[in-house]
Amino acid sequence: MSIERPSTLDFPPDAEGMEMVYCRPDTLTDTPFHYCPGCGHSVVHRVLMEVVEELGLQEKTIGVAPVGCSVFAYHYMNIDMQEAAHGRASAVATGIKRVLPDRYVFSYQGDGDLAAIGTAETIHTVNRGENILMVFINNGIYGMTGGQMAPTSLPGQVTTTSPYGRDVKMVGHPIRIADLLIQLPGAYYVTRQAVHNPNAVRKLKKAFEKSFQYQKEGKGTCFVEVVSNCPSGWRMTPVESIKYLEDTMFPAYPLGDLKVPEKV
Amino acid sequence: MRQEHEIICAGFGGQGVLSMGSIIAYSGMIEGKEVSWMPSYGPEMRGGTANCIVIVADDRISSPIITKFDSAIVLNQPSLDKFEKAVKPGGLLLYEQSTIIHPPTREDIDVVCVPAIEEADKLKAKQVANMIMVGAFLEKRPIVKIETIVSALKKALPEHRHHLIPVNELALKRGKELVHLNEKITA
Amino acid sequence: MEEKKNKTSEAKLMKGNEALAEAAIRADIDGYFGYPITPQSEVLEYLEREIPKRHGLVLQAESEIASINMIYGAAGAGARVMTSSSGPGISLMQEGLSYIASAQLPCLVVNVVRGGPGLGTIQPSQGDYFQAVKGGGHGDYHLIVLAPASVQEMADFVFEGFRLAEKYRNPAMILTDGALGQMMEKVIQPEEGSLPKIKTPWATTGKTKDRDHNIITSLFIKPEEMESVNLQLQEKYRKIEKDEVRFEEIKTEDADILLVAFGLSSRICQKTVDLGREKGIKIGLLRPITLYPYPYKRLNELADQVDFMMSVEMNAGQMVEDVKLAVEGKVPVHFTGRMGGMIPSPDDVLHEIESILDNQNVLQD
């Protein structure tokens, strides 16, 4: 069947005779992203929605947006969505999944949301093995509120609330929540990915595809962490932020699978 | 005229005080009356004592919480000390013999002493002392029929407890008899 | 299956909490999400025991915060859902309730009130009146608040709560107390399946081709938009205030003195009415059944008839403020009550009335 697309961001009208090789998936609206230049959110949104479209799950997928920069995710993702209170996205997703068990449900949260104020909900959702996908964007900072220290900010990292650098004696070390979650039997698939280059994007897409497949099979919680950047919050250009990711963030948050289904 | 009977059942936790009250309430309901059962609340719960207020009436019951009672059924000294004065003049006070050191002194109420624990021992079923009290109470104030209590027990007890019904029935009858025995002794 | 057998109900002797839980199953709830807290844990216990044998879903969450947000998600997905708790747990739910009110989701929340503030006591109280009727969480919103006064109403108001919540797409609350939760009375349960499910075209059930994507949100970042959402909410509240006020009057026809009390206090006051009339004092009682919306109008009318009013509450005097608002200074409004889990007795209330009457006589002499 033909997919009807809104026109504003479509292929240029004078492109007659040219072949369409890349376009916005129908699972994204034509609302322009409000994200800062270079920010990883837009890419993660797009990859996630590509997977939903390619698997033909637009009618069956319900997302939960967080409080944070991606609070308006529901403006961009052209699927049914709910906006959760700060930290509670996985509880909201639980509520949806429990009453609509045949739908695909995901939550989408940042580090402050998932690993600080919502830690209890995060741990218990995974511990129950809720059959949902939890997407976790870790950029080590509170972006929306203007660059404050996050639970995942690195030791010595300067933010507006750690102007002399994160003092681990005062506020503790960054929390590697995904490493904690793999201890829980309810966690079926836990992986840490990135979107800083095309190869990483392809890997992330694979991780999302697997997560939807596992959800279809009723396997339990899939947890996909994306170690991402925040050029504005980090006070860097997008290019500098990619370098910072590679040099500083990835050593602290190594990429790769943390828990994969046991082979039978 | 509208009939309403307000009862306080009181004793130590574990003496079956709450279930004694609830079986009276349940039986009242089976007989088509309005009933309420209010377990102990507030500071009265302290010190391991338990009590419940039971009201059985012909029609709508107003307050389930009251401070004056038509009847008091008490199974320990602290409860007697507390509720003796709460019985309305002309009301009924039943107390369990072996648990009371200082017997009631009021003369404007009907006081009945029931050796329920001793009799329950004779039946080799300590846990039916409360039903002996209920039997005695209903002999003095027949607000529900003994037969209704028995059928209420059948409904209230789970299947695997039904073998206890005969001894409860016996206890009810024994309580009924004890009232008269006691009256003879007092006379 | 068993549920078919149970369709028509016979009278049963039940605890208030259990009657409420049974009614929830009969109201065909799709989900109950809760966390244990005294004095209402029987609700969760009863549902954990019964629901697997019958129908619906029950989930013990990790906190009241999680429960209320599960309610948000499930209600947003179009399900009939409820939770219950007591004071401290209800306080934790306030953020979620504000979101639910703003997102206009129907659900039922039960507060079996215990004495506070703080961890307080597990004994019965009406100290959460302000929290229930004046908002509780942040922003301009209202819950529809029902106050049962008997075990029968503990069951009936589950149905009524859902009916109102779904009619107005607004959270409803049953405000009751530990004593009503624990006491037993005769109850005839509402008929199972007698509460039809509503259509929820706004719910997030999956975006179909024939419609735009549905969004459940309470975020309206542009002030113009936020104001218009607020205006819409206020319009809804005015309609609720016009159409849904419920109250009961007892012996008010010839009353010189009016007691105003809700829930358990109203039962105590019924007895006071009788005791007073035995002594020739013409007392009447108005019992608000809905605490929001509140029977301001009727109280104002009665202010033209009685010499004074007295609000009787198990708190420091909360509803009395609404009684005062209602009578607009036409007659004196007194208050009597107990706090911290203590319950006023019918005699206490009568004694208060008599001392007011004595004082009046002294003044007149």
Name all chains with 3 or more CB-CB pairs below 8 Å to chain B.
Answer: C
CB under 8 Å to C56, separation ≥6 — which residues? C25, C28, C29, C30, C31, C32, C47
Range of the domain at A135: 41-259
CATH number where B134 lies:
3.40.920.10
Q: Report percent pLDDT > 70 for chain B.
A: 93
Q: What is the pLDDT of residue C44?
A: 97
pLDDT at C4 over 60: no
Q: Tell whether C287 and C192 lie within a shared domain.
A: no
pLDDT bin (cut points 50, 70, 90) of residue A19 is: confident
**Mutate: best of B63, B69, B155, B157, partner C, most C CBs <10 A:** B63
Cβ C62–A124 below 8 Å, yes or no? yes
* Phi, psi torsion values for A72, nearest 5 degrees: -95, 20
Q: How far is C238 from chain A (nearest CA, A)?
A: 27
Mean pLDDT for C85-112 is: 98
Q: Tell whether C329 and C254 lie within a shared domain.
A: yes
Q: Tell whether C323 and C358 lie within a shared domain.
A: yes
In a domain? residue A95: yes
Q: What is the pLDDT of residue C7?
A: 45
Contact A137, A41 (CB under 8 A): yes
pTM of the model: 0.93
CATH number where A151 lies:
3.40.50.970
C-alpha pair distances (Å), A122 with each of A86, A88, A171, A184, C66 = 12, 8, 21, 11, 10
Contact B2, B57 (CB under 8 A): yes
Partners of residue C274 in chain B, C-beta under 8 Å? 62
Q: What is the pLDDT of residue A136?
A: 98
CATH number where C267 lies:
3.40.50.920
Q: What is the pLDDT of residues C269-307, one digit of tens each?
A: 999 999 999 999 999 999 999 999 999 999 999 999 999
Q: How far is A202 from chain C (nearest CA, A)?
A: 26
Q: Tell whether C232 and C257 lie within a shared domain.
A: no
C201 touches chain A (CB under 8 A): no
In a domain? residue C208: no
Q: What is the pLDDT of residue A2?
A: 43
* Phi, psi torsion values for B66, nearest 5 degrees: -140, 165
Range of the domain at B91: 4-186
Q: What is the pLDDT of residues A225-257, one digit of tens each?
A: 999 999 999 999 999 999 999 999 999 999 999
Q: What is the pLDDT of residues B127-143, one digit of tens each?
A: 999 999 999 999 999 99
- Chain C residue closest in CA terms to A29: C213
Q: What is the pLDDT of residue B186?
A: 52
Q: Tell whether C81 and C112 lie within a shared domain.
A: yes
A153 touches chain C (CB under 8 A): no
Q: What is the pLDDT of residues A23-82, one digit of tens each?
A: 999 999 999 999 999 999 999 999 999 999 999 999 999 999 999 999 999 999 999 999
In a domain? residue A14: no
Q: Tell whether C222 and C193 lie within a shared domain.
A: yes
Q: How far apart are CA C134 and CA C128, in angstroms?
A: 10
Amino acid at A142: Y
Range of the domain at C298: 248-364
pLDDT bin (cut points 50, 70, 90) of residue A218 is: very high
Q: Token pair of B3, please? A: 């009939």
pLDDT at C353 over 90: yes
Q: What is the pLDDT of residue C128?
A: 98
Cβ A82–C218 below 8 Å, yes or no? no
Amino acid at A139: N
Q: What is the pLDDT of residues C194-239, one digit of tens each?
A: 999 999 999 999 999 999 999 999 999 999 999 999 999 999 999 9
Q: What is the pLDDT of residue A13?
A: 55
pLDDT at C308 over 70: yes
Q: Tell whether C171 and C45 lie within a shared domain.
A: yes
Interfacial A residues in 106-145 facing C (CB < 8 Å): 120-121, 123-124
Query: Chains B and C: how many Cβ contacts under 8 Å?
Result: 73
Q: Report percent pLDDT > 90 for chain C.
A: 93
Q: How far apart are CA C302 and CA A193, in angstroms?
A: 70
Q: Tell whether C141 and C6 lie within a shared domain.
A: yes
DSSP E strand boundaries for C214-289: 215-216, 247-250, 257-260, 283-288
Q: How many domains does chain A have?
A: 1
Q: What is the pLDDT of residues B20-66, one digit of tens each?
A: 999 999 999 999 999 999 998 545 555 567 999 999 999 999 999 99
Q: How far is C320 from chain B (nearest CA, A)?
A: 21
Q: Tell whether C176 and C37 lie within a shared domain.
A: yes
Q: How far apart are CA B59 and CA B34, in angstroms?
A: 6
Which residue would you say has higher pLDDT here, B156 or A8?
B156
Q: What is the pLDDT of residue B13?
A: 82
Contact C313, C337 (CB under 8 A): yes
Q: Tell whether C163 and C183 lie within a shared domain.
A: yes
**Mutate: best of A96, A131, A144, partner C, most C CBs <10 A:** A96
DSSP E strand boundaries for C41-80: 58-60
Output the CA angle C225-C229-C230, nearest 5 degrees. Answer: 115
Q: How far apart are CA A180 and CA A122, in angstroms?
A: 11
CATH number where C47 lies:
3.40.50.970
Q: What is the pLDDT of residues C99-142, one digit of tens each?
A: 999 999 999 999 999 999 999 998 999 999 999 999 899 999 99
pLDDT bin (cut points 50, 70, 90) of residue A12 is: low
Contact C87, C315 (CB under 8 A): no
Mean pLDDT for C82-103 is: 98
Q: Tell whether C123 and C104 lie within a shared domain.
A: yes
Q: How far is A231 from chain C (nearest CA, A)?
A: 24
pLDDT bin (cut points 50, 70, 90) of residue C362 is: confident
Respond yes or no on whether the N-terminal peptide bond of residue C293 is cis (omega within 30° of 0): yes
- Residue C167 C-beta-side C-alpha neighbours within 13 Å: 15
3+ Cβ–Cβ pairs closer than 8 Å linking C and A: yes
First-last CA distance in chain C? 73
- Chain B residue closest in CA terms to C338: B42
Amino acid at C53: K
Q: How far apart are CA B101 and CA A6, in angstroms?
A: 91
Q: Tell whether C226 and C278 lie within a shared domain.
A: no
Amino acid at C15: K
In a domain? residue C71: yes
Q: What is the pLDDT of residues A125-171, one digit of tens each?
A: 999 999 999 999 999 999 999 999 999 999 999 999 999 999 999 99
CB under 8 Å to C241, separation ≥6 — which residues? C293
First-last CA distance in chain B? 33
Q: What is the pLDDT of residues C136-194, one digit of tens each?
A: 999 999 999 999 999 999 999 999 999 999 999 999 999 999 999 999 999 999 999 99
Q: What is the pLDDT of residue A1?
A: 40
Q: How far apart are CA B73 and CA B21, in angstroms?
A: 9
In a domain? residue A8: no
In a domain? residue C207: no
Q: How many domains does chain B have?
A: 1
Q: What is the pLDDT of residues B81-111, one digit of tens each?
A: 999 999 999 999 999 999 999 999 999 999 9
Q: How far is B124 from chain C (nearest CA, A)?
A: 30
Q: How many domains does chain C have?
A: 2
In a domain? residue A31: no
